Chain A
Amino acid sequence: MWLPILGLIIGMAIGLLADIHIPAEYSNYLSLAVLAALDSLVGGIRAYLQNIYDETVFVSGFFFNILLAIGLAFIGVYIGVDLYLAAVFAFGFRLFQNMAIIRRILIAKWSFRKKNKNS
């Protein structure tokens, strides 16, 4: 379980050390990609806790969601509709839902363990 966190730290370190700057006009897309990635990660954790984790679904969902969100925003810019809001709404909504499910599962586990200790 520690390895993913280490990966996160390594990724951040690479981002900090590498001198890469995204032009300001693309920062919208990047923020959307970050949101999609966060959604996929949280969804993956939830699936793992519910024991329905599927590797292929998780990895493909991660990249597909990012591409879809960016594609939607891109099309939105060209047809003059703020389509990126749809992605923000969908991802945000699901993020909260998944978080709530994770919270419940963790609380259930915690209380189960407490009960076992007491008995």
Chain B
Amino acid sequence: MKQKTIFSLTLISALFGFMIVLQIKTMHQPEVKETRDVWKLRENYLAAREMEANLLAEIRKANETIARYEQERLHSKEQAFIETLNELKQEAGLTELTGPGLAITLEPLPQEMYPGVDNPYLSATILRKMVNELNMYGAQAISIAGKRVVQSTVIREIQGATRIDGFPLRNYPVEIKVLAATLQDAEKIYNSLQISSLRDDFFVDRINMKIGEPEVEVTIPPYDGTIKIDVMESSDEGASE
């Protein structure tokens, strides 16, 4: 016989042997026979029952511990402080807020309406007026061009550019986001803006004010500067408490 023939024959016999053993193994999977009698079964059953009871007791204990910890956490002074801190942060405008609201866009009027007149002028006075009006209409939070308007926010003109907290508003369109408590409130703000004189005020300065429809979700970014409280003093009322 040629060497190659023997080699292939060997290989194929090996494959055949492998397959046969695999088949035999598959066909003869050992069966586990039930050899326990009734008393033995009963004993096993009782043992399992006891284990179940133990496990249940352990689970109950663990649940009690969890509940206790939860209780302690809720009533701890630390938790109260954290909650107050969060509330104050939210009030001061240091947190991101999401809720119903609307967006106002300020953009330059098309050139053809005022041929020969140069850039539009965004007046700090009108912007301040708008913020005041929005607050009057019930806005919860306002951001102008991504800058959160907080209690200490300054809108004024410095070196020819209107700035909000030092950030110049040079790029149009300027987007103003307004957050309202509910969707109804957002609609109220929308309606109030429609009849307000703000649009005319902006128009004089060649700026078109577009009032967006109330939206279900508007996100207002947090205030990114530091709030200076050097000149703040605690009131007597607060001190006596």
Chain B, Cβ-Cβ closest to A26: B26
CB distance from B14 to the nearest CB of A (A): 3
Contact yes or no, A12 B5, CB < 8 A: no
**Besides A9-B17, A59-B8, 9 new A-B residue pairs in contact (Cβ under 8 A), listed by A number:** A8-B14, A11-B18, A20-B25, A21-B26, A27-B23, A34-B19, A37-B15, A38-B16, A53-B5
Chain B residues closer than 8 Å to A3, beta-carbon distance: 6-7, 9-10
A12-37 to B contact mask, C-beta < 8 Å, 1/0: 10111000111010010011011001
Contact yes or no, B1 A1, CB < 8 A: yes
Known contacts A3-B6, A34-B20, A53-B5; is A41 also within 8 Å of B13 by CB?
A: yes
Q: Which of B6, B17, B27 contacts A12 (CB 8 A)?
A: B17
Chain B residues closer than 8 Å to A41, beta-carbon distance: 12-13, 16
Chain A residues closer than 8 Å to B33, beta-carbon distance: none
Chain B, Cβ-Cβ closest to A59: B8
Contact yes or no, B13 A7, CB < 8 A: yes
Q: Which of B8, B10, B25, B26 contacts A6 (CB 8 A)?
A: B10
At the interface, is chain A mostly helix, strand, loop or mixed? helix
Contact yes or no, A7 B19, CB < 8 A: no
CA distance A30 to B37 in the complex (A): 39
Q: Which of A11, A30, A48 contacts B17 (CB 8 A)?
A: A11
CB distance from B198 to the nearest CB of A (A): 74
Contact yes or no, A22 B26, CB < 8 A: yes
15 A-B pairs whose Cβ atoms sit less than 8 Å apart in the complex: A3-B9, A7-B17, A14-B18, A15-B17, A20-B22, A20-B25, A24-B26, A27-B23, A30-B19, A31-B23, A37-B16, A41-B16, A44-B9, A58-B8, A58-B12
User: Does A62 count as interface, using CB distance less than 8 angstroms?
Assistant: yes
Chain B residues closer than 8 Å to A6, beta-carbon distance: 10
Known contacts A9-B17, A12-B18, A34-B19; is A55 also within 8 Å of B12 by CB?
A: no
Q: Which of B6, B7, B15 contacts A11 (CB 8 A)?
A: B15
Q: Considering the complex of A and B, which 5 residue pairs feature the smallest CB-CB distances, nearest first? A: A15-B21, A11-B17, A11-B14, A7-B10, A12-B17
Contact yes or no, A11 B21, CB < 8 A: yes
Query: Size band of the B side of the interface?
Result: 20 to 34
Contact yes or no, A55 B5, CB < 8 A: yes
Chain A residues closer than 8 Å to B25, beta-carbon distance: 15-16, 20-22
Chain A, Cβ-Cβ closest to B14: A11
Contact yes or no, A7 B26, CB < 8 A: no
Chain B residues closer than 8 Å to A27, beta-carbon distance: 23, 26-27
A75-105 to B contact mask, C-beta < 8 Å, 1/0: 0000000000000000000000000000000
Chain B residues closer than 8 Å to A11, beta-carbon distance: 13-19, 21
Chain B residues closer than 8 Å to A14, beta-carbon distance: 14, 17-18
User: Does A52 count as interface, using CB distance less than 8 angstroms?
Assistant: no
Contact yes or no, B21 A7, CB < 8 A: no
CA distance A77 to B18 in the complex (A): 26
Chain A residues closer than 8 Å to B13, beta-carbon distance: 4-5, 7-8, 11, 41
Chain B residues closer than 8 Å to A1, beta-carbon distance: 1
Chain B residues closer than 8 Å to A106, beta-carbon distance: none
User: Does A68 count as interface, using CB distance less than 8 angstroms?
Assistant: no
User: Does A107 count as interface, using CB distance less than 8 angstroms?
Assistant: no
User: Does A10 count as interface, using CB distance less than 8 angstroms?
Assistant: yes
User: Does B80 count as interface, using CB distance less than 8 angstroms?
Assistant: no
